[in-house]
Structure formats: structure tokens, C-alpha cells
Structure 1
């Protein structure tokens, strides 16, 4: 799948938004990709996951034993990646502020894991999820995401394979350009603003 084909999937789902958005990192952006909308259609989600699975080098794919994603945004993307790779998909969640496996999910000691995200902006959630996988006994050997919007800056500590990289400027709340500051900010994501 080319970048334009991936963007066409987002456009077809009305998932490529323009405005003033507060990202889960707290940064602000004039564009937002709403992965929940693009993933709500199972056939579209399957196409995207299959295309992303094909981008993971075979030498890594052949080692993988499970997919783990962070809740909430990564759950569907992780499930679809598990389907595409033919392996179990689990998720970590934050019942008390830090990620952990729950709901009977468990990893065998040393089990090789793909961390699957919907969108990576700063990489903070991904690194926190990787830590939770390691605390649960697993070993993250690679990460993947539908969208990398980090402008190439996210360092997850493992090989990272996004389906598409979209370089959209981000700003702190106190350094907005005037045209963005003039637009009311909305928070489309699933996590409260960091304080």
C-alpha cells in the first residue's frame, strides 16, 4: 500500500481532520488522524493491518509470538495485527496510572512481542507500554503503528515500523501560531491531558 493509498483509506472514513487539536501528549496540531474512525470498518482495518504486517521484515515477523497494544487507542489496531500475523493479541491498560496486563492476559518469560500502536506522536505511551510488557515477563523486539506523526523523532528503543509517516507540525499550548490560536481547540483522543 502506498502512502497515498493509506491516506485515501483515512479520507474515505472521514478520519483525516483539520482544525485545532489537543493531542494525548498535550501538544497541539492543525491536523488529526482519527484512527478509531478508520478502524471502525473491519475490511478497511484488515487491509491496513495486512499492509503493515507486510512491512515488518520477515526475520522479525518469524520471531514474534504475541502482539500487545496499549488501551484504548491501540486495541483494535493490535487485534487486527494479531489476526494479520496469526497470533494472539493482548492489551495493556492503566487502571491506576501505569500500564499493566490485566483481564487474564499473561506472557511467558521471554515471549517475543510486537508492540502495536494506532498513532505514535512522542513515543511516551509506547515506551510505557514496552516497560509494562517487560515487567510482565515479555520481550518487545519491535514496534509498529498505523501512523508515525513524530516527525522521525520517536525513539522506542526497538525497531519501529509505521504504515505511514505524516509530518504535521505540533506546538506547545504557549507557542501556538496565530492562525491556530484563533481556532477553538478540541480533544479528539482517548486520554486526558497531561498536567
Structure 2
């Protein structure tokens, strides 16, 4: 269950930092939306990153993680902050030739891993990280995010623990009313 006081403070931080954008956006899923959460704008402020990391650590500590993992690039700052708050190691996976891989760290074989992301929309990046680590012998025990905008429809095996569950309109490109109005489309996402 979300903490309304914490969520109100997070919403205030998102506004102060310029992290909640409004316009016409191409999401990494291929869908279009009128709203975009650019958590990098929030996480560029260390005090906001520490607040979100500590709050998210409180949400996922029930999984008793041995290690925190994130997808690069968006999950690195928040993943590190969650790991710091829990005093456990942190690793990240990154794309190489289009596939998510663990390149810079040894596999956490036999370790309980929680995947942390900044924003979950479809869950694809977080799911890829969890799958890569599980294939290498880790136990993927949970997922967490600052923002969950999936509406419960992510591809993850379980709903992520999040600080703020929010639903914004999503449209397939051929059904997008913003395209019909001729509004310029912006692609602010990070998955290539």
C-alpha cells in the first residue's frame, strides 16, 4: 500500500525538479502518451535521490535482498540509492547489441536479487535484467520502482513495489489523438 504522505512529497519533488513532463511522447514501448516521467530530472538532485532510495528500500526490504540490480541507464542512480539504504551491493546490466547483459560484474549466483528501476511502464527492461540474473544462478525475488505507470499490465511476473502508481493515457500510434492533432512527437526514453 502506498504511503500518501510520502507520495505527496514525491509528487512535489517531481514537480520541483521538472521530472513530470506533459506533451506528446513516444515511449520505449512504442506507445504514445501525453505524460512522461523523466526520473533522471528528479534523481539529479542527491537529496531527492536519497529520499526516493530510502523510501523504496523500505518497500522492498521484505524480500531480504542480498544484492540490488538495475537496468542501465535509468535504473542506476535509484538502484544504487536503494542498495546504499539497505547496505547491500549494487550491480547493473546494460544493452549490448540490443540484448541486456551483465558485463562489468560477476554473476550473483545463489544470491537473492531485487531489480530496481526508475519507471516501470511495460516492465521489459526490468524483466530482462531479472531473467539474465536468474539464468546466471541468482534468485530474482522482487522488483521495485520509483514510478509504476503500468496500470498492473507490466510483463513482470509480479507487480513491482513502487512509491507512486500512476496511470496516464497510452495510445497505439495509429490511434493517438495527439498525432491526429499534428502535435510534435518527442522520444525522451533511454532504451535503444
Tell me if the contact between 1:140 and 1:158 (Cα under 8 Å) persists in the aligned partners: no
**What does residue 103 of structure 2 align with?**
102
Q: Distance in 1 between matches of 2:30 and 2:62?
A: 36
Counterpart in 1 of 2:111? 111
Alignment of 1:1-195 (within 5 A): 1-56=5-60, 58-60=61-63, 63-103=64-104, 105-158=105-158, 160-178=160-178, 181-192=181-192
Q: Secondary structure at the match of 1:99?
A: strand
Whole-Å separation in 2 of the counterparts to 1:180 and 1:145: 32
Give me the TM-score of the superposition, normalised by structure 1.
Answer: 0.90
Report the more deviating stretch, 1-10 or 135-144: 1-10
Q: Residue 173 of structure 2 contacts residue 179 of structure 2 at CA under 8 Å; is this kept in 1?
A: no
Instruction: For structure 2, list consecutive stretches of 5 or more residues without a partner in the other structure.
Output: none
Cα shift readout 1:16-67 (whole Å, capped 9, x = no counterpart): 11100111111111011111110001111000111111123x542xx21000
Where does the alignment leave 5 or more consecutive residues of structure 1 unmatched?
none
Q: What is the count of residue pairs matched by the alignment? A: 188
The two structures have a TM-score, normalised by structure 2, of 0.92
Structure 1 runs of 4+ aligned residues shifted over 2 Å read 178-182
Question: C-alpha displacement at 1:140, in angstroms?
Answer: 0.9
Q: What is the SS of the residue equivalent to 1:125?
A: helix
Contact 2:32 2:171 in 1 (8 A): yes
**Please, which moves more after superposition, 181-190 or 65-74?**
181-190
Q: What is the CA distance between 1:180 and its match in structure 2?
A: 6.6
CA RMSD of aligned residues (A): 1.6
